[in-house]
């Protein structure tokens, strides 16, 4: 990150440790720093699903401590229109969408970026993402964060070189433990605050109840791959491929006592299909078809080999990418992969460089 005196940067302040330390680092580097708190959800505080009120208070306290001005803006309408509607539509199709990817694309690095540059006359925006940006021969490239356990480039593959030119990731060069140490060093009360994840920062425990407010439940059968009914599901959109927990399937007479996993969702028949063992053949895929592809620097020539991941924090896998048409590409894995999930993202890498990604449309089963 090049040091530029007196350049104005707007930091997306979430009230968390990462954005707070990012703002502090930029102040130390002599940038003209201001914060902006985005409210992306109009919650019913009584339900307790979202914490924007508490997060705003934390952001205000941090900005007061760092002596920076905090702007506030409400993107709730835009979030509903461009992120949450898609989230519901994909769930109804039986897919498992990733709202973090879409929120980054539509809200943080579109609405927030444009507002900061155009309305607040900023030179840059900054966020607390664990990723890095490197300028090579006049172009800007997205790199993995130094902390491999926290690297968030997976969620940022929809960016392009022109956007990267205006973005700073101050903590991308740090380990998470160092970020928390810095928060303690500068005496921020939020230094031990837990990380926020998921849609509207709702954890997995609350997601089922939350979805139930927007999608009508329709109970159905849980069946084995041979067609035997062994249980009931609460609504097919609550489950994802590869899921083991929450199926309510105990020991079954005549079956080995091995955990059951979701291997398919039949939307038309409203049945959840399961098989035993995480490495069962029904859960394995030799590849997938991807759509909505974005190449960060538009420098790809098919076919080619690279590494990819189909979920956050997964170890990179070797794969071959083939061109199908302008809408779709085919990805073939070097080895069969577990639980390829339509709706999730596949993200591509050349060494530490993130070159792009797309949405998983369908999987190519082992069978």
Task: Based on the fold, state whether residues 19 and 101 are members of the same structural domain.
Answer: yes
Query: Which stretch of 58-67, 73-82, 251-260 has the lowest confidence by average pLDDT?
Result: 251-260
Structural domain contains residue 322: yes
- Structurally, the chain folds into a number of domains equal to 3
Mean pLDDT throughout 245-249? Answer: 87
β partners of residue 261 = 275
Six-digit token pair at 213?
A: 């407010």
Q: Look up the CATH number of the domain holding residue 351.
A: 2.40.30.10
For residues 271 and 228, membership in a common domain is answered with yes
State how far the alpha carbon of 280 is from the alpha carbons of 75, 195, 285, 311, in Å: 44, 34, 11, 19
Domain end point (choices 261, 278, 295)? 278
The one catalytic residue among 63, 103, 319, 354: 103
Q: Are 154 and 66 part of one and the same domain?
A: yes
Phi, psi at 122, each rounded to 5°:
-85, 155
- The residue among 254, 278, 302 that closes a domain is 278
Domain final position from 230, 250, 278:
278
- pLDDT level of residue 41 (50, 70, 90 thresholds): confident
Per-position DSSP letters for 243-289, written without gaps between them: --TT------TTS-S--EEEEEEETTTTEEEEEESTT-GGGEEEEEE
Binding residues: 12-19, 38, 128
Does the N-terminal peptide bond of residue 125 adopt cis geometry, omega within 30 degrees of 0?
A: no
Whether the model clears a pTM of 0.75, i.e. scores above it, the answer is yes
As a whole number of Å, the CA-based R_g of the chain is 22
CATH number at residue 247: 2.30.30.280
Check: CB of residue 33 under 8 Å from CB of residue 11: yes
Known active-site residue 306: no
Within a domain: 2? no
Q: What is the DSSP letter of 328?
A: -
What's the rounded Cα separation, in Å, for the pair 210 and 139?
Answer: 42
Same domain for 288 and 162:
no
pLDDT in tens, 320-356: 999 999 999 999 999 999 999 999 999 999 999 999 9
Residues 71 and 138 in one domain: yes
Q: Residue 308 gets which letter from DSSP?
A: E
172: its two tokens = 């991308």
In a domain, residue 116? The reply is: yes
Half-sphere exposure of 190 (CA within 13 A, CB side): 24
CA-based nearest residue to 94, from 226, 240, 312: 240
- Is 12 part of any domain? yes
Q: With beta carbons less than 8 A apart as the criterion, state whether 141 and 130 touch.
A: no
Report the binding-site residues for ATP. 12-19, 38, 128
Q: Say how far apart CA 33 and CA 144 lie, in whole Å.
A: 25
Query: Same domain for 145 and 270?
Result: no
- Do 85 and 40 belong to one domain? yes
Asked if the structure places residue 1 within a domain, the reply is: no
Judgement on whether residues 225 and 266 belong to the same structural domain of the protein: yes
Average pLDDT over residues 252-260: 76
DSSP string for residues in 21-66: HHHHHHHHTT-EEEEEEEE-----TTT----HHHHHHHHHHHHHHH
> Does residue 123 share a domain with residue 138?
yes
In a domain, 223, yes or no: yes
* Residue 254 banded pLDDT, cuts 50, 70, 90: low
* pLDDT grade for 205, boundaries at 50, 70 and 90: low
User: From CA 148, how far away is CA 176, in angstroms rounded?
Assistant: 10
Helix spans in 286-354 (H): none
Residue 194 per-residue DSSP state: P
Select the more confidently predicted residue: 215 or 142: 142
Judge whether 140 lies within some domain.
Answer: yes
| pLDDT, greater one: 185 or 211 | 185
Asked whether residue 125 falls in the same domain as residue 195, the answer is yes
Phi, psi of 191 (to 5 degrees): -60, -25
The CATH number given to whatever domain includes residue 86 is 3.40.50.620
What is residue 46's predicted lDDT score, i.e. its pLDDT? 47
Least confident range of 34-48, 182-196, 214-228? 34-48
Catalytic residue among 63, 200, 306, 354: 200
In-domain check, residue 3: no
Residue 346: domain span:
283-365
Considering the domain architecture, whether residues 274 and 290 belong to the same structural domain is answered as no
Cα(22)–Cα(77) distance, rounded to whole angstroms? 27
Long-range residue pairs from 175-184, CB within 8 A, at least 24 positions apart, any chain: 175/146, 175/147, 175/150, 176/130, 176/147, 176/149, 176/150, 179/17, 179/18, 179/21, 180/17, 182/21, 182/24, 182/25, 183/17, 183/20, 183/21
What's the CA gap between 344 and 332, in Å, rounded? 17
Q: Are residues 254 and 346 in the same domain?
A: no
């Amino acid at each position: 990150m090049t040091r530029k005196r007196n350049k104005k940067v707007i930091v997306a302040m979430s009230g968390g440790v990462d954005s707070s330390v990012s703002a502090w680092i930029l102040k130390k580097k002599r940038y003209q720093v201001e914060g902006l708190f985005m409210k992306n959800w109009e919650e019913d505080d009584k339900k307790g699903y979202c914490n924007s009120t508490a997060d705003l208070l934390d952001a205000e306290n941090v900005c007061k401590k760092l002596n920076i001005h905090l702007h506030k803006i409400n993107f709730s309408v835009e979030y509903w229109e461009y992120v949450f509607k898609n989230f519901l539509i994909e769930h109804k199709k039986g897919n498992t969408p990733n709202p973090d990817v879409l929120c980054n694309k539509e809200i943080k690095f579109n609405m927030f970026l444009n507002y900061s540059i155009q309305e607040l006359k900023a030179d840059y925006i900054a966020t607390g993402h664990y990723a890095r940006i490197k300028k090579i021969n006049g172009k800007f490239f997205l790199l993995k964060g130094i902390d491999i356990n926290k690297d968030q480039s997976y969620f940022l593959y929809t960016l392009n070189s022109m956007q990267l030119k205006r973005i700073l990731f101050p903590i991308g060069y740090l380990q998470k433990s160092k970020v928390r140490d810095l928060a303690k060093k500068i005496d921020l009360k939020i230094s031990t605050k837990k990380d926020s994840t998921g849609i509207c920062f709702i954890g997995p425990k609350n997601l089922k109840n939350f979805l139930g407010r927007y999608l009508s439940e329709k109970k159905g059968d849980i069946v084995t791959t041979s067609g035997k009914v062994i249980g009931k599901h609460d609504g097919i959109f609550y489950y994802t491929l590869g899921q083991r927990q929450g199926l309510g399937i105990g020991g079954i007479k005549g079956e080995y006592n091995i955990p059951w996993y979701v291997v398919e969702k039949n939307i038309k028949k409203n049945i959840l299909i399961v098989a035993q063992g995480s490495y069962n053949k029904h859960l394995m895929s030799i590849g997938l078809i991807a759509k909505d592809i974005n190449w960060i620097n538009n420098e790809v020539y098919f076919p080619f080999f690279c590494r990819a991941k189909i979920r956050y924090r997964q170890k990179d896998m070797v794969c071959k990418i083939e061109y199908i048409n302008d809408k779709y590409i085919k990805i073939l894995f070097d080895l069969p992969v577990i639980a390829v999930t339509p709706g999730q993202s596949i993200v591509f890498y050349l060494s530490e460089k993130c070159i792009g990604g797309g949405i998983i449309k369908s999987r190519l089963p082992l069978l």
